[in-house]
Amino acid sequence: MGGQCVAATVHRGSMASSPRGEYQQGKRSDRVPGVHIEAVPVQVIKKQEVNCMQVRKKTVAIQAVDANGHALPGASVSIKQKRSGFPLGCAIANTILENKAYQSWFTSRFTVTTFENEMKWYANERDQGKEQYADADAMVAFAKQHGIAVRGHNVVWNDPQDVQSWVRSLPRKQLRRAVNRRFNSVMRRYRGRVVAWDVVNENVHFSYFESRLGQNASSIFYNRAHQLDLNALMFLNDFNTLEVPVDGNVTPAKYLQKLRQIQSFGNVPRMAIGLEGHFGTPDIAYMRSALDKLAGANVPIWLTEVDVAHPNQAKSLEDILREAYSHPAVQGIVIWGAWHPEGCWRMCLTDNNFKNLPAGDVVDKLIFEWRSANVAATTDADGLLRAELFHGEYKITINHPSSNSSSVQSLTVDSASQNTNVLRVMV
């Protein structure tokens, strides 16, 4: 947390070597690229800034020493961030596979993704017994090539409107078999290649499989998911828990009740909370209180499908992202803005020429703001240099006037880092 110190001691010596609904085309931003400042209450900004310092940064102390352990004052130190430690992503569609401009725009910004439709059951088995994974396979390969983590979305969906008609027509015994085949098929295919699964999508709001297979259907499904993929996070994923305080079906208390029910079946390890985040006009105070209550479950929280349908879209998106990022329980954010030439579901980040729309400008501004600036400085009389760094992966290079070589070391700064983390690199 804020004030904790990660110390890196560097020695001279040898070198050692991250859709549903109608489509809408967004409007282009007419302003000149740059930072656009909106009026936000001072107390909100101060709270978010303090929380970011406490939650997303640490103070790193680097000490340059010679082979005998003596401090080296006046050593030149360069610190460059290679990758952010906070997962920030965006949904993609199969439109990315053949569009180089889309690929370049996406991979230069994001470190995690969710497929809009291509890993859903109705996309993989539209007709019974005829599985189709070509798009999902290609998209997983694309993500791996660019070092982008993938969330598996989703294994099954509890809203009957999103269950194929052939599935709904099955008798109970055959339905159970079909669901089991689905779990085996998609999870065995992609385990080890996804970091998370939305196991039973929207199962706080809806209960299709419970109505057909018994009230503990979701809990049984999560048991099976854990057996099939021991390493991925297993998410509940639902909407309106953050967005509005008036949906009694999915209040934070109802969400936690469902989570505990599933955990009571032995599903304690690797569980996580997914909050879709399809906002109209955001109520930031309510969002904060909801996150505070959900944080009591002591499991990771992600915002998984963030978008905004509101005339003041960009401003609202910025408020939402800042509030989520400043909350200590939130461990990742995925924006629901998969690009299609005919438009996006509710929110586009870019136009068809991959020039940012206002919402895209917000995302770029925050990516820049949540990244450590390059550091180039010299060590003090004790051979020390201190820097406040965002969580992430860094390259540290140290030179000293008495040596013709450089010391290079990688450093990871994260919430799990110890107060003192000593790196020894001989130059």
Task: Give yes or no for a cis peptide into 154 (omega within 30° of 0).
Answer: yes
- Look at residue 368 and give its three-state secondary structure: helix
Comparing C-alpha atoms, which of 406, 384, 421 is closest to residue 13? 406
319 and 303 Cβ atoms separated by less than 8 Å? no
Choosing from 125, 202, 243, 323, the catalytic residue is 202
- Return the number of other C-beta atoms located less than 10 Å from residue 282's C-beta: 21
- Return the number of other C-beta atoms located less than 10 Å from residue 269's C-beta: 11
Name 112's bridge partners. Answer: 89, 149
Whether 318 sits among the annotated catalytic residues: the reply is no
Rounded distance between C-alpha atoms, residue 34 and residue 53, angstroms: 24
123 and 117 Cβ atoms separated by less than 8 Å? yes
Whether 305 sits among the annotated catalytic residues: the reply is yes
Rounded distance between C-alpha atoms, residue 381 and residue 29, angstroms: 50
First to last CA, the chain: 32
318 and 367 Cβ atoms separated by less than 8 Å? no
Choosing from 276, 305, 318, 323, the catalytic residue is 305
Question: Which residues are part of the catalytic machinery?
Answer: 202, 305
